[in-house]
Amino acid sequence: MYGPWVKALVQRYLTQMMIELQELPGPDGSGRLLDCIDLIVPHQANKTMVVSTAESVGLTPDLLYFNIDRVGNTSSASIPLAIRDAVLDGVIERPMRIFAPGFGAGAVGGYAVVRIDPAIVATEPRASLTEEGTALFALNQATSSDDVKQAFSS
């Protein structure tokens, strides 16, 4: 893939999405849906590109939430992880309407406008039981290297 072409395509997708939100009616049928958005949680691939595209259609960076500086580009998991982190960071502290634009490899794009209630966002690891009946947490303290070593040990 040629980076400048991917960037141009993603910018076009994000611009189209935001323009569509300007044209769609708000939830009560009046106003613009874009004006009802409390927070934008985009795919965490390129913060600079997303911020400049948002600004080009009149959105301010304070509407955007990013966690890419802490977790990197986690591919298709980036939006759900960012929503969880926004709850943990206190950014989503009440039910909010969120615009979540996503794109993949610059070739596809889509978005969702959802209402997120922080009370129902899982912020703790979920325990499951091993064969021995002890709790095993989905999120543990092992590093990826430890996981690989364990997977390939006999």
pLDDT in tens, 68-79: 999 888 888 899
* Cβ proximity of 102 and 110 under 8 Å: yes
pLDDT band at 100 (very low <50, low <70, confident <90, very high): very high
Residue 134 located in a structural domain? no
Mean pLDDT value across the chain: 82
The interaxial angle of helices 47-56 and 3-23, nearest 10 deg, is: 40
CATH code of the domain in which 60 resides = 3.40.47.10
Across the range 86-100, mean pLDDT stands at 96
Residue 99 located in a structural domain? yes
pLDDT in tens, 19-50: 899 899 999 998 999 999 999 999 888 888 88
Residue 132 located in a structural domain? no
Residue 105 located in a structural domain? yes
Q: Is the pLDDT of residue 133 over 70?
A: no
Residue 150 located in a structural domain? no
Residue 74 located in a structural domain? yes
* Cβ proximity of 125 and 138 under 8 Å: yes
Q: Is the pLDDT of residue 143 over 60?
A: no
Q: Is the pLDDT of residue 127 over 80?
A: no
Specify the pLDDT at position 7.
Answer: 77
Classify residue 108 by burial, with Cβ atoms within 10 Å: 0-12, 13-18, 19+: exposed
Supply the pTM of this predicted model.
Answer: 0.77
* Cβ proximity of 100 and 114 under 8 Å: yes
Residues spanned by the domain of 9: 3-120
Number of structural domains, the chain? 1
CA dist., res. 53 & res. 123, Å (int): 30
